[in-house]
Amino acid sequence: MTMKLKRVEIKGFRGIHQLTLDIDPKQMVIIGENTWGKSSLLSALTLLSPSPLPYQFTQSDFYSTQATDNIAAAQIDIIFIFSENKAQPYDNNAFYPLHEVITTDEHGNKQIIYQIHGYTNTSGTIITEHHFLNNQRKRYATITNTPALIAHLTTLRPILRLKNPQTDTSYLPATPATAKLPIDAILVQFKQDDIVNNQQQLEQGLHAAYLLLDYYLIDKQRQNRQPCSMIPSVGVTSSDWAILNRFNHFLETHQEISVMLLRIFIELFNAAGHDHLSPEAAPIFLLEEPESQLHPILFSIAIHLLNKLPIQQIITTNSSDILSLCELETIYRLIRYPHYIAAYHLSDHILNPSDSRRIKFHLLHRYPSALFARTWLCVEGETEVWLLSELAKQAGYDFNSEGIKIIEFVQCGLKPLIKFANLMGIQWHVLTDGDNAGKNYVDTVKTLLPTSAAITEHLTVLPAKDIENFLFHHGFSHIYKMAAFGTTEYVDLSISQIIQKAIHKTSKPDLAVAVGEDTEQRGNQTIPTLFKQLFAKVLKLSHATNNGVLD
């Protein structure tokens, strides 16, 4: 274990007015709408890429809005904080050249604070300053070799932005035809040390891993790029993926090979003619929208391999399939507000194990697209999910384009679902029945209301014991009579008996479909007023989030 990137703080850089982002020590998956500042964040992070000279800001790097065009008055501050874990201290030998700028945080952990500051001076010249800071955020006055220290830091903890090899032509220079990678040497070492019994499986797995790294992580579009002499540059075949999948299982019992895999990548990167990484490098990988490159099954295999490497991963995605493959705690939602960008995620152990387990199954496996929504409409059953989706459409609302997701909560539990929504910056509204269970849900809503929020903004209670009774009393009694008895005439039975007979002869979902079809035929004026008011409330929450009103 070594010192890892712990936090990045950005002010006034491109599309980001202000953002503080805690970086997960292993993997973080970032989601958000198109305006959350993804390109600006990735550009800021890539300032940690190995480079012969420290980056110099240009005018286009300064944050501006339509209402603010006074670039000369703007400043840029980007701060990277690297920190150790006390239980797993950093490598003193590798970091020794940086000992002058290593400080401690409030918990006694060793850390490095690297700042890039930009401003426009009185003569209109853009000035870029690179500094290391102490734990008081003051610059070291006696440090004179800052560029050399930056170069050492970025070879130890380089940011490597990995993009689609079919479209990206700006990543790496050509690989010399004479480049040699250490795969054969690694195989010899493992054979001598008698670490593994199945040499063929190891050899096939290492070669498949090489192909993955070479094809997807190293640019192949340079015209003067020559294939590495060890392995033909033919892309990754289906058989290679199958081998890699088996190799992942093989690695479960041979974790010592992970370090060797990282050596392969470093040698591959260095052989490409880029600025050389240190042999002790632990790169930080940026994967931008991997769904554009890999089918979810193949991404699962690839990410399983990358998870074996001693690296940090920062992934951006718009794919619910990708999210379903990730741990809930690794998902970060970024939302733009008027003066800053907020980052929401689950801290470790913030949910108890039972709630965490239910949330993971409910969201990652049943409703992964809900994590992209601005607002959740939480309902008791699947009947309400279908019915309200259909009635909203007939009322002229497109919930998908409005960022609204209807979620059934009974199987998961309302309390953990709302707690999760609050923690992740997702607005919510609950529709509940008027029975005893519904009263318990009302109490739950009251305890979890956002600060200063009115309960009417987040809760609608049906004036009936369930949705079937509500619909019966609000213009749809004929649906239940027809389903139960084949007539819309008066039936000498209680309403509950008629409804139960209708459900017994058909089903709740079938009755919901019948109500939706009936509303479509008779017009949206037949939609109960309560539902129209409900739609308006949910839409207001979603619009407020989209406009950066809610915080």
Question: Which domains does the chain carry?
Answer: 1-169+310-345 (3.40.50), 173-273 (no CATH), 347-551 (no CATH)
Query: If DSSP states are collapsed to H, E and C, what string results for 297-332?
Result: HHHHHHHHHHCCCCCEEEEECCCHHHHCCCCHHHEE
104 against 64, higher pLDDT = 104
Q: Give the position of tokens 């920062």.
A: 314
Q: What is the pTM of this model?
A: 0.86
User: What one-character-per-residue DSSP string does 469-487 give?
Assistant: HHHIIIIIHHHHHHHHHS-
- Phi, psi dihedral angles at 324 (to 5 degrees): -65, -15
Question: Residue 275 above 50 pLDDT?
Answer: yes
pLDDT score recorded for residue 178: 36
Q: What DSSP element (H or E) covers 506? A: none
Integer CA distances (angstroms), 450 to 193, 426, 428, in order: 60, 11, 10
Note the pLDDT tens digit of each residue in 185-234. Answer: 666 666 555 555 566 767 777 777 777 776 666 544 333 333 343 344 44
> Whole-angstrom Cα distance, residue 377 to residue 385?
9
If we measure between CA atoms, which residue out of 11, 80, 43 comes closest to residue 341?
Answer: 11
Q: Do residues 30 and 9 lie in contact, with contact meaning Cβ atoms separated by under 8 Å?
A: no
Average pLDDT of the chain? 84
3-state secondary structure of 491: coil
> Whole-angstrom Cα distance, residue 131 to residue 138?
9
Confidence of residue 551 (pLDDT cuts 50, 70, 90): very low
Q: Do residues 141 and 192 lie in contact, with contact meaning Cβ atoms separated by under 8 Å?
A: no
Question: Residue 181 above 80 pLDDT?
Answer: no
User: 238-252 and 296-306 are packed helices; what angle lies between their axes, rounded to 10 degrees?
Assistant: 40
Question: Residue 172 above 50 pLDDT?
Answer: no
Distance of CA 481 to the CA centre of its chain: 49
